[in-house]
């Protein structure tokens, strides 16, 4: 257990929850649970609460108001009860609808608020909205980001941040037991949602190329999203048939089991920050071949903790996978270095920095 204790500290955590079970939702749920286990009194406010009544979800212009108004009312009430607020923030409409109002309301109510910004599209978002974001961020008590990549991005736009990394649960994600049996042929996995930004199509094309060298290689894609039909059509077009399995959205236990069954993970994303999936793979003893986009090079060191390639190049993904699968010494060194690296992202390592951030934020609280 971490030596950092949050005993009696009243912390409001604001962020999305599953479904959908993306990285930000999982980090929100995990943070609230870990803070509670460390003695904090946690109140959780969900930004993506289900629509009530359900039919509102089918009316785009109406659904934002039906979600926003109850959110603002619960937020205002919660602010009066907390010592500090931990706000999970992202780009685009999520910022304008949920993050910015929370920062301004906390400022007006005099409640310290820590912005935890994440997302690989920060540079593009800030380029178009930097004046509004800067004005809002001046009302926050602190800005923390999970990676050096976002630290640099915000620095370029004149906003100071500090790094508090994502957290990986090593009690859940761990290497397969020695001697555990795996299936026939190399098993590759992709654990990203089925969206164009994550470029699952390149992984499927890479599998077709890899099977020229490893005819029994097969791929599991764990995630859901709007691109599923297009990706299934691509599988059929390339004649891959049952070599590609769409597992859909998996719960945490099933995802951990999937990692343990894998020989290699592809992360073919076109845009990224600090993907939890990469941390989970490293913790599971699975070598990672990833595109060198966004914050990934801050997370993986090419040739030591992972293998980096340029985005949208299936041949590079296939070649890198073949190298890692062919060379036992390289594969072993990547696994060992990955297991060592992931120790930096445990709750035991992250909690003291988070507690210090909260204490500093609370020390700036304005008298009411």
| Rounded distance between C-alpha atoms, residue 198 and residue 200, angstroms | 6
- The CATH H-level superfamily of 187-344 is Glycogen Phosphorylase B; (3.40.50.2000)
Which pLDDT score is estimated for 69? 86
Which pLDDT score is estimated for 19? 72
Where residue 80 falls (left for φ over 0; alpha for ψ -120 to 50; beta otherwise) is alpha
Q: 3-state class of 335 per DSSP?
A: helix
Task: Tell me the mean pLDDT in the region 241-250.
Answer: 95
Task: Quote the percentage of the chain above a pLDDT of 70.
Answer: 92
Which pLDDT score is estimated for 366? 64
DSSP summary character for residue 82: -
- What does pTM read for this prediction? 0.89
- Cα three-residue angle 185-188-190, rounded to 5 degrees: 160
Which pLDDT score is estimated for 179? 55
Beta bridge partners of 183: none
- For 43-58, write each residue's pLDDT tens digit: 999 988 776 666 656 6
Which pLDDT score is estimated for 4? 77
Domain extents in the chain: 10-167+346-363, 187-344
Q: Is the pLDDT of residue 97 over 70?
A: yes
Which pLDDT score is estimated for 227? 97
Which pLDDT score is estimated for 64? 64
Topology alike, domains 10-167+346-363 and 187-344: yes
- For 279-319, write each residue's pLDDT tens digit: 999 999 999 999 999 889 999 999 999 999 999 999 999 99
* Strands annotated E in the chain: 10-15, 41-46, 84-89, 113-117, 142-145, 162-163, 187-190, 218-221, 244-246, 264-267, 288-291, 307-309
| Rounded distance between C-alpha atoms, residue 318 and residue 209, angstroms | 6
Q: Is the pLDDT of residue 33 over 80?
A: yes
- For 326-346, write each residue's pLDDT tens digit: 999 999 999 999 999 999 999
Beta bridge partners of 14: 45, 87
C-alpha count within 13 angstroms, C-beta hemisphere, residue 299: 31
Which pLDDT score is estimated for 340? 97
Q: Is the pLDDT of residue 355 over 80?
A: yes
- The CATH H-level superfamily of 10-167+346-363 is Glycogen Phosphorylase B; (3.40.50.2000)
Contact 223, 193 (CB under 8 A): yes
pLDDT confidence bin for 1, thresholds 50/70/90? very low
* Residue count (the chain): 368
- For 135-150, write each residue's pLDDT tens digit: 999 999 999 999 999 9
Tracing tokens 């500290």 back to the chain, one arrives at: 9
What is the C-alpha end-to-end distance of the chain, expressed in Å?
36
Which pLDDT score is estimated for 283? 97
Task: Tell me the mean pLDDT in the region 122-136.
Answer: 91
Task: Quote the percentage of the chain above a pLDDT of 90.
Answer: 77
Q: Is the pLDDT of residue 169 over 70?
A: yes
- For 198-241, write each residue's pLDDT tens digit: 999 999 999 999 999 999 999 999 999 999 999 999 999 999 99
Tokens of 19: 């479904």
Task: Tell me the mean pLDDT in the region 27-39.
Answer: 93
């Amino acid at each position: 257990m971490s030596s950092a204790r949050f005993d009696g500290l009243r912390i409001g955590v604001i962020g999305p929850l599953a479904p959908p079970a993306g990285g930000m939702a999982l980090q929100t749920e995990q943070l609230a649970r870990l803070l509670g286990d460390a003695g904090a009194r946690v109140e959780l406010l969900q930004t993506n609460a289900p629509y009530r009544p359900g039919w509102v979800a089918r009316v785009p212009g109406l659904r934002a108001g039906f979600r926003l108004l109850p959110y603002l009312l619960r937020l205002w009430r919660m602010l009066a009860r907390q010592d500090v607020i931990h706000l999970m923030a992202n780009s685009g409409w999520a910022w304008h609808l949920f993050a910015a109002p929370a920062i301004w309301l906390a400022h007006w109510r005099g409640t310290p608020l820590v912005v935890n910004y994440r997302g690989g599209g920060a540079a593009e978002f800030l380029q178009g909205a930097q004046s509004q974001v800067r004005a809002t961020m001046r009302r926050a008590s602190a800005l923390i980001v999970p990676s050096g990549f976002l630290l640099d991005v915000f620095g370029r736009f004149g906003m100071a941040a500090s790094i508090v990394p994502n957290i990986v649960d090593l009690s859940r994600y761990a290497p397969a037991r020695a001697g555990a049996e795996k299936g026939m042929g190399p098993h590759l996995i992709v654990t990203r949602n089925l969206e164009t930004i994550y470029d699952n199509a390149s992984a499927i094309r890479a599998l077709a190329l890899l099977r020229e060298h490893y005819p029994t290689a097969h791929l599991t894609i764990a995630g859901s999203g709007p691109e599923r039909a297009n990706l299934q059509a691509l599988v059929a077009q390339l004649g891959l048939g049952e070599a590609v399995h769409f597992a859909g959205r998996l719960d945490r236990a099933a995802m951990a089991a999937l990692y343990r069954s894998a020989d290699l993970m592809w992360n073919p994303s076109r845009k990224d920050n600090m993907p939890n999936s990469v941390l989970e793979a490293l913790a599971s003893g699975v070598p990672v071949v990833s595109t060198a986009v966004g914050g990934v090079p801050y997370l993986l060191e090419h040739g030591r903790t992972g293998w980096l390639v340029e985005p949208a190049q299936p041949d590079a993904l296939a070649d890198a996978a073949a190298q890692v699968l062919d060379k036992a010494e390289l594969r072993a060194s990547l696994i060992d270095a990955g297991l060592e690296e992931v120790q930096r992202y445990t709750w035991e390592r992250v909690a003291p920095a988070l507690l210090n951030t909260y204490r500093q934020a609370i020390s700036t609280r304005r008298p009411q």
